[in-house]
Structure 1
């Protein structure tokens, strides 16, 4: 898909985006739990998140889980949005034309409906470099 073919995902048209959807974290959660905004970021403890972020790409959710702070093991949950959502402005048209990462955010909860046992991982050096970059606060965070 070229940038010219891309249609922004907004609360008005988000129902047209097909899942499944995934959320990566180190939190030990259960099927039926709700992920809600208003808690500290998985990446920077000084940031309280106004949105919950998710993707349609398991590897992307896995990367998010692998760089998340915390003691638990990285986990990728299968989630269902309970309300409207939009493109993640942290990556959409900022770092990449369109939304090739298929990343979204919502102010409404995400319901956990499953957990992936495995996913394709990134190279360990890339994960560590990205973790250091995020923890340094060098990256812009829009919440």
Structure 2
């Protein structure tokens, strides 16, 4: 499936980053400490990146960054092939770094109860992560 998006792209995390920083693969997952990530995941939806930031492990505050891929990107097969054909979640991944362009100050939040329930499902191994 071809990537149909030109961006802008967003990445959600609790890490404090600055413009010019690079996000790279090979680090522990934001959601499962037993998993080392072979890709960097991102989305063209700021709300989706906000969800990823809200449920990420860590003590920092949730942050959404505007990012720029530095190499090839592909549709996230964990979402597009398994759950949502056609990539309506506009979720992507890359083996090459993502460059931090800026931090978004605001994004559309999810309901707090939804976030609590999703975190609980993730902690018990029952939840799949979208981005």
Asked if these proteins are the same fold (TM beyond 0.5), I'd say: yes
Give, in angstroms, the shift of residue 131 of structure 1.
1.4
1:118-142 per-residue CA deviation (whole Å, 9 max, x = no partner) reads 000111111111112222223467x
1:27-106 alignment runs, 5 A limit: 27-106=15-94
**Corresponding position of 2:6:** 18
Tell me the TM-score normalised to structure 2 length. Answer: 0.92
Give, in angstroms, the shift of residue 17 of structure 1.
2.5
Q: Aligned equivalents of 2:55 and 2:74: distance in 1?
A: 23
Count, aligned residues: 129
Gaps of 5+ in 2: none
Give, in angstroms, the shift of residue 18 of structure 1.
1.0
Q: CA RMSD in A?
A: 1.4
Gaps of 5+ in 1: 1-7
1:95-140 per-residue CA deviation (whole Å, 9 max, x = no partner) reads 2221010000000000000110000011111111111222222346
- Corresponding residue to 1:137 among 111, 125, 128: 125
**Corresponding position of 1:128:** 116
Is residue 90–residue 140 contact of structure 1 (8 Å, CA) maintained in 2?
no
Q: Which runs of 4+ in 1 moved over 6 A?
A: none
